């Protein structure tokens, strides 16, 4: 098990800088954080080697793909085996084990609705110990972890970082993924900060072509996400909410402005808004709920669950402390 001590201010600032611009040069990161580039790089190496922080790269949805939350109800004696199986599935981005009627929630990306149906009806329903499956196709993602920030940097530093690199894909805007760009996405899954020279060698193309393909991937097809182990961040409570709203999109827009909320999505289901957040304590989560009730009176929270374990987060395998222990590169199921 990794050391779960809270991170110091310098580490938090480095992680925040990489959340804003995951491929920023160390000279810029050091300047914004207030340390020299060598120290910034050394600190980041220590964070990644311990699994306390990392950068995940995963494909954005294209015009035909389907993102869905899939809930599983499992027999108690089979829960561990089921989780061990689903975390190996490359199209399953994240897995959460939580309190509530269904034990496990998957977030998965499918090439189309037929692929979703095949996975649910043929794969999950035939899995030993799975007693029920609920599918919640996502209609729109309003914010997710690649947009969440620690809040450790000053606004000027955030602005400098944001203006220094490629603007990431807009959530909800979809581009057709070409095979040549898909190759870049696969490389980034394993090496998100790969250099142009290394990328050109990996793909067997010129540096000019590698730069062009990388720019296309980063601006249209790939989400880069600097993550941190939840327990080391000082926010050990992970809460997941199911809500109903007659004006779901308006409610979702309000939810995404709250600093504790890491995920907001509308879904096709009786509860048409799903959101989740990381909190320092259960009481702070309750305070955020009260704030949400005041801001969005049309939103009714119909279910709330505490996440007990996140064995997979956007392709990265995690231990019980939330530290990264390995990677299963994300690929769209077909």
pLDDT in tens, 43-58: 999 999 999 999 999 8
Residues with Cβ within 8 Å of residue 290, at least 6 apart in sequence? none
Between strands 104-110 and 273-279, the pairing is unpaired
Q: Which residue has the tokens 């696969």?
A: 186
Report pLDDT for 329. Answer: 87
* 248: pLDDT strictly greater than 70: yes
Rounded Cα gap, residues 161 and 170, in angstroms: 18
pLDDT at 334: 61
Q: Decide: 158 and 91 in contact? Cβ < 8 Å.
A: no
CA distances in angstroms from 329 to 59, 186, 205, listed in the order given: 10, 7, 22
**For position 333, what pLDDT does the model report?**
64
Check pLDDT > 50 for residue 3.
no
Element (H, E) at 201: helix 196-203
pLDDT at 1 over 50: no
pLDDT mean over 137-144: 95
pLDDT over 80 at 4, yes or no: no
Query: DSSP characters for 64-117?
Result: T-EEEEEEEEE-GGGHHHHHHHHTT-TTEEEEEEESSSSSEEEEEEESSHHHHH
Of residues 221 and 238, more confidently modeled: 238
Query: What per-residue confidence (pLDDT) applies to 331?
Result: 84
DSSP character string of 125-149: TTSTTEEEEEEEEEEEEEE-GGG--
3-state secondary structure of 13: helix
| Residue 145 to residue 98: CA distance in whole angstroms | 19
Q: What is the mean pLDDT of residues 12-33?
A: 97
What φ, ψ does residue 332 adopt, rounded to 5°? -70, 130
Question: What pLDDT is recorded for position 117?
Answer: 97
Whole-angstrom distance, CA of residue 201 vs CA of residue 180: 14
| Whole-angstrom distance, CA of residue 6 vs CA of residue 232 | 4
**C-alpha angle 330/49/309, rounded to 5°?**
55
The structure tokens listed for 222 are: 């790939």
Residues 6+ apart with CB under 8 A from 41: 26
Rounded to whole angstroms, the Cα distance separating 182 from 238 reads: 32
- Alpha-carbon distance of 166 to 192, in angstroms, equals 14
Backbone angles phi, psi at 280, to 5 degrees: -65, -40
CB 276 within 8 A of CB 239: yes
Residue pointed to by tokens 């956007």: 314
10-19, 23-32, 217-226, 306-315: which has the minimum mean pLDDT? 217-226
pLDDT for position 96: 97
Confidence of residue 69 (pLDDT cuts 50, 70, 90): very high
More confident residue, 61 or 247: 247
What would the mean pLDDT of 29-36 be, rounded to a whole number? Answer: 98
**pLDDT tens, residue by residue, 158-197:** 999 999 988 888 777 777 777 888 889 889 988 999 999 9
Q: The tokens 């926010």 sit on which residue?
A: 235
Structure tokens at 306: 């505490």
């Amino acid at each position: 098990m990794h050391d779960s001590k809270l991170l110091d201010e310098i580490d938090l600032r480095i992680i925040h800088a990489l959340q804003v611009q995951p491929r920023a040069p160390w000279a810029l990161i050091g300047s914004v954080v207030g340390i020299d580039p060598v120290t910034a790089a050394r600190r980041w190496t220590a964070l990644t080697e311990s699994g306390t922080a990392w950068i995940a790269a995963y494909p954005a949805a294209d015009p035909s793909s389907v993102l869905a939350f899939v809930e599983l109800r499992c027999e108690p004696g089979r829960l561990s085996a089921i989780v061990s199986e689903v975390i190996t599935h490359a199209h399953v981005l994240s897995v959460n084990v939580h309190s509530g009627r269904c034990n496990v929630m998957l977030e998965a990306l499918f090439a189309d609705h037929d692929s979703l149906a095949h996975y649910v009806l043929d794969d999950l329903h035939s899995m030993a110990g799975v007693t029920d499956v609920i599918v919640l196709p996502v209609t729109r993602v309003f914010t997710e972890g690649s947009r969440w920030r620690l809040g450790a940097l000053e606004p000027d530093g955030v602005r400098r970082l944001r203006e220094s690199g490629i603007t990431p894909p807009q959530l909800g805007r979809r581009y057709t993924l070409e095979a040549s760009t898909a190759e870049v996405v696969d490389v980034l899954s394993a090496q998100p900060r790969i250099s142009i020279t290394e990328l050109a060698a990996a793909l067997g193309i010129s540096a000019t072509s590698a730069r062009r393909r990388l720019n296309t991937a980063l601006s249209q097809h790939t989400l880069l996400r600097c993550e941190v182990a939840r327990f080391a961040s000082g926010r050990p409570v992970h809460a997941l909410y199911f809500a109903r709203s007659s004006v779901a999109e308006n409610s979702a827009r309000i939810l995404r402005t709250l600093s504790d909320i890491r995920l907001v999505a509308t879904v096709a289901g009786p509860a048409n808004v799903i959101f989740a957040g990381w909190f320092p304590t259960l009481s702070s989560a309750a305070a955020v709920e009260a704030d949400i009730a005041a801001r969005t009176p049309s939103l009714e929270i119909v279910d709330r669950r505490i996440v007990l374990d996140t064995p997979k987060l956007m392709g990265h395998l995690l231990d019980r402390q939330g530290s990264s222990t390995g990677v299963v590169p994300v690929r769209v199921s077909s």
